[in-house]
């Protein structure tokens, strides 16, 4: 199906408007710029009720560690305790997902300056675990998912450790 002249004119005007409104970095194409403007960063992971936030797997492949459900998870960036960008709760399976607008944050900023912190004490999911400290994890890139007009940059957690 061919595009109408009106549609082509609209697309050309839209591209021109974006090109004028936003400076283009050296080597970046208009198409790459539009994809950058219409994207999100998704920070995701699963937290288990253990001192490293990871699951123990049995010989038959079954996960032996219960998920850390209803735990508060924060995305923090910067030195010290950092600035909290987002706060979410894990679901019944210990899963969480944080979405960020890619026009405000870049992947290098997130990977180098941010971390995931589980602020709910481990003792709340297992009394034998520490009652102080937080589970903290660095972040790693998991690649991109592209659907028409939207790029999702997927970021995951590494191994958690207990921090003060």
Q: What is the pLDDT of residue 28?
A: 42
pLDDT of 33 above 80: no
Would you say how long the chain is, in residues?
Answer: 164
* Rounded Cα–Cα distance for residues 140 and 129 (Å): 26
Q: Where are the domains of the chain?
A: 35-163
Angle at 44 between CA 66 and CA 138, to 5 degrees: 90
CATH 2.60.40 fits 35-163, yes or no: yes
Q: What is the pLDDT of residue 89?
A: 96
Kindly report the average pLDDT of the chain as a whole number.
Answer: 81
pTM for the model? 0.72
15-29, 53-67, 95-109, 141-155: which has the minimum mean pLDDT? 15-29
The model's confidence at residue 56, banded by pLDDT at 50, 70 and 90, is confident
Q: pLDDT digit string (tens) for 140-161?
A: 999 888 877 778 899 999 889 8
């Amino acid at each position: 199906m061919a595009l109408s002249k009106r549609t082509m004119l609209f697309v050309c005007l839209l591209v021109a408007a974006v090109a004028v409104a936003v400076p283009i970095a050296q080597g970046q194409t208009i198409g790459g710029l539009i994809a950058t403007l219409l994207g999100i960063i998704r920070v995701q992971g699963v937290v288990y009720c253990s001192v490293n936030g990871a699951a123990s797997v049995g010989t038959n492949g079954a996960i032996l560690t219960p998920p850390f459900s209803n735990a508060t998870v924060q995305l923090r960036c910067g030195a010290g305790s950092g600035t909290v960008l987002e706060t979410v709760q894990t679901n019944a399976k210990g899963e969480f997902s944080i979405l960020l607008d890619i026009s405000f944050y870049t992947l290098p900023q997130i990977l180098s300056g941010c971390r995931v912190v589980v602020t709910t004490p481990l003792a709340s999911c297992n009394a034998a675990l520490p009652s102080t400290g937080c589970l903290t994890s660095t972040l790693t890139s998991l690649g991109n998912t592209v659907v028409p007009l939207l790029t999702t940059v997927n970021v995951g957690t590494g191994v958690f450790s207990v921090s003060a």
